[in-house]
């Protein structure tokens, strides 16, 4: 081989080496950019997965709470309806005069009515329905419905002095407000 051929071969080898080096650098840059892009996609996918897991957990908690509330307050509508029966039974028992309570002919009937009223109260308590006291309390618009104002020297204005209809709670919720008379300053 001649010197000229050797020079050409050396030049060609140098050109190939330089091209390979440039291609390697370009491929290295492309690989680094691709790795960075994949890492960004992975981070975004992890974040989306965390959001989806948190959302799923929130939905589960919300459903558990709704289910617990449904169980706790399932009897609300029925209880509200049966309260009128309890009110009528209470009114009937209160309307019986004392002398009739002593009469032997109706004594067992009255005892049966009293037992029924007590059993009804027991069933209410069993299901979380409780009567709350009103007389002597300060008017609370969240629990009481003022029907009349009654002039009174004995009670502070805004104090409940008469209960026309008992109020009831079911667990921690108002089932029915108490219908009350509230004291006011005499004219």
pLDDT tens-digit profile of 82-141? Answer: 999 999 999 999 999 988 888 888 888 999 999 999 999 999 999 889 999 999 999 999
Query: How many angstroms separate the CA atoms of 101 and 88, rounded?
Result: 18
Residues 79 and 67 in one domain: no
pLDDT on residue 3: 64
Domain count within the chain: 2
> Where do runs of H (alpha helix) occur along the chain?
3-72, 76-95, 98-101, 104-126
Residues 47 and 108 in one domain: no
Residue 1 has pLDDT above 60, yes or no: no
Ranked by mean pLDDT, which of 11-20, 56-65, 178-187 comes out on top? 56-65
Residues 84 and 162 in one domain: yes
**Token reading at 118:** 């007590």
Structure confidence by residue, pLDDT tens digits, 22-79: 555 566 678 888 999 999 999 999 999 999 999 999 999 999 999 988 887 888 888 8
Listed residues 57, 72, 87: the one ending a domain: 72
pLDDT on residue 30: 86
Residues 96 and 176 in one domain: yes
CATH number at residue 144: 2.30.22.10
Listed residues 72, 89, 111: the one ending a domain: 72
SS3 135: coil
Residues 91 and 57 in one domain: no
Query: How many angstroms separate the CA atoms of 40 and 46, rounded?
Result: 10
Residues 90 and 163 in one domain: yes
Residues 82 and 157 in one domain: yes
Residue 8 has pLDDT above 70, yes or no: no
pLDDT on residue 133: 92
Domain that holds residue 144: 73-184
The answer to whether 183 and 161 are in contact (CB under 8 A) is: yes
Mean of pLDDT values over 146-170:
92
pTM of the predicted model, to two decimals? Answer: 0.64
* Nearest Cα residue to 87 out of 39, 131, 44: 131
Residues 26 and 105 in one domain: no
Residues 91 and 159 in one domain: yes
Residues 2 and 25 in one domain: yes
Confidence of residue 10 (pLDDT cuts 50, 70, 90): low
Residues 82 and 118 in one domain: yes
pLDDT on residue 88: 92
Residues 112 and 67 in one domain: no
Of 5-14, 126-135, 148-157, where does mean pLDDT reach its minimum? 5-14
pLDDT on residue 159: 92
pLDDT on residue 171: 86
**Token reading at 142:** 């969240």
Listed residues 55, 72, 89: the one ending a domain: 72
pLDDT on residue 11: 67
Residue 21 has pLDDT above 70, yes or no: no
Residue 11, Cβ neighbours under 10 Å: how many? 10
């Amino acid at each position: 081989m001649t010197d000229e051929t050797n020079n050409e071969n050396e030049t060609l080898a140098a050109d190939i080496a330089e091209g390979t080096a440039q291609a390697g650098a370009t491929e290295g840059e492309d690989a680094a950019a691709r790795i960075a892009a994949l890492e960004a996609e992975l981070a975004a996918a992890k974040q989306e997965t965390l959001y989806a897991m948190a959302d799923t957990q929130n939905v589960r908690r919300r459903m558990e709470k709704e289910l617990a509330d449904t169980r706790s307050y399932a009897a609300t509508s029925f209880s509200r309806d049966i309260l009128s029966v309890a009110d009528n039974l209470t009114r009937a028992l209160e309307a019986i005069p004392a002398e009739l309570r002593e009469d032997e002919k109706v004594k067992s009937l009255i005892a049966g009515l009293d037992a029924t009223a007590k059993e009804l109260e027991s069933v209410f308590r069993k299901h979380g329905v409780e009567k709350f006291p009103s007389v002597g309390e300060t008017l609370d618009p969240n629990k009481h419905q003022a029907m009349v104002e009654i002039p009174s020297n004995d009670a502070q204005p805004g104090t409940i002095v008469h209960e026309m209809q008992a109020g009831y709670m079911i667990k921690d919720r108002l089932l029915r407000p108490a219908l009350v008379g509230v004291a006011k300053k005499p004219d």
